[in-house]
A and B are shown apart, each in its own frame.
Chain A
Amino acid sequence: MIVRKRLTVQNTIAVIVALIFLVVVLFSFSFIGRRPGAGEQFIRQGVEDTGAVNIVAAIYLNYRLFDTIFEILVFALAVIGVRFHLHAIKDKRPRLKEALFISESHIVRVAGDLLAPVVALIGLFLIVTGHLAPGGGFSGGALLGTVILLLAVARGGERVGRRLNEDVVDRLEQIFLVSIIALSALSPLFGRPFFANFFPLGEPGRLLSGGWILLYNLLIGGKVFIGIWVMMYCFIRHRGDV
C-alpha cells in the first residue's frame, strides 16, 4: 500500500514536470523566427567545394566527415554489444535445436521471392546515387538489410543465415570499418589535411563526381548492411525463428 501511495505521488510530480517542460519549450520556440540559417553558406558553395549536387551528402561526407566516422563507430559498437550480450544469454539456456522454419503461407514465400530482388536493386540504387539524389549509405544499407530479413521471413532465418558464411561476414564487416577509417587518414599523403577529400571532384551531376562521397557511400552501405543483418540474425537465433 505504501509503495502504491509513493508511486502516485511520483506520478503527479512527473506529470507536473512534463507540463512545465511543454509550456517552457513551446514558449521559447515561439521566439524563433524564420530566417536564412547556417546552411546558406553550404548551399552557395557546396557544389563548388565538393562536386556533389546533394548538399546534405556534401555536408555529411565531406564537411562533417569527422562526425560521421564517430557515428559509424557508435553503430559498430551497438552491433558488437548486441552480439556479445545475446551470446551471453544463449549460453545459459538449453541449446535450441536448429529448427528449419519455413513459412507456412505460400503467399509470403512467393511475395518474398518476387520482392527481394526489386528491393535489393532499389537499395543499391540509393547507395550509388547518394551524392546526386536523396539516399546514401545508411538508408541504402538499411534497405539491403531489410531484403535479407524479407528472405528470412519467407525462407526461414536459419537457412538464410547458413547461406551467408558467418566468418566471411565478420571479416567483411571489419574490412569495411577499417577502410572507412583508413581512407580518411590517407589524405596527408596527397597533400591535404586529415578528413579532406583528395579525389578529383568531377563534373557535378555526373555519376562519377563528388570526390570520395561515392566511395564512402559504398563502404558505409556495406557496413550498415552487414551490421543490420548481424544484429537481426542474433535476435533470430535467440528466438529460434523469425
Chain B
Amino acid sequence: MEWLNGVTIGVVLFVIGLLALMLRRDLIVKLLGLGLINTSVILCLISLGYYTRGVAPIITGKPGQIYIDPLPQALVLSAIVINLAILALSLVFVMILVERYHTTDSVKIAQQVEQERSHDQEHIR
C-alpha cells in the first residue's frame, strides 16, 4: 500500500475535479469542481513535504525529532486564500448570469447569448 498516499489521492481528486469542470453543464457544479481541484493540489503539496513520523515544524528544542518540510505549508497558505477569493468572485459572476438568463446550465446560457447576438445583428441590418 506504499502507493496509496496523499500525492496519488490528490492527483485522482484533481482528475475528478477536472472531469466535473469539463463534463457537467451546471455552473455551480463546475465551481465545486474548481474547489475540488484546489483542495487536491493543496493535499498533493502538503504530502510531498511530509516525512514518515515527522512532527509539525514548530521548533520545541527536543533532540532527535524530524520536522516536516515547512516550505510547502507556507506556500499552500497563499493557495487557500486565493481559492477563497476565486470562488467568491466566480460565485458572484454565476449570480449575475442567473439573474439575466434564469438558468445555471452553461450550454443553455451559451445558446441564449448566441440568439441575442444574432437578434442584435438583424436589428443592425
Contact = CB atoms under 8 A, between A and B. Distances in A.
Interface of A: 3, 7, 11, 14-15, 17-19, 21-22, 25-26, 29-30, 32, 34, 37-40, 42-43, 46-47, 53-56, 58-60, 64, 67-68, 71, 74-75, 77-78, 81-82, 85-86, 88-89, 92-93, 132-134, 136, 138, 204, 231, 238
A214 to B, nearest CB: 16
A55 B99 contact: no
A46 B59 contact: yes
Interface residues of B, number: 43
A94 B5 CA distance: 53
Nearest 5 A/B pairs, CB to CB: A78-B85, A39-B69, A39-B71, A14-B22, A59-B74
Given A15-B19, A37-B69, A75 B92 contact: no
B8 A26 contact: yes
A238 B88 CA distance: 14
Interface of B: 3, 7-8, 11-12, 14-15, 18-19, 22-23, 48-49, 51-52, 56-60, 67, 69-74, 77-78, 80-82, 84-86, 88-89, 92-93, 95-96, 99, 107
7 contacts: A18-B15, A18-B19, A34-B52, A39-B49, A75-B85, A88-B96, A138-B81
A78 B19 CA distance: 26
B19 A75 contact: no
B59 A75 contact: no
Given A29-B8, A42-B57, A54-B58, 19 more contacts: A14-B23, A32-B7, A39-B49, A39-B57, A39-B69, A39-B72, A40-B69, A43-B57, A47-B59, A54-B57, A56-B77, A60-B77, A74-B82, A77-B85, A81-B89, A92-B99, A93-B99, A204-B59, A231-B88
Contacts of A75: 81-82, 84-85
A138 B77 CA distance: 9
Nearest to B51: A34
Contact of B60 (A53, A60, A136): A53
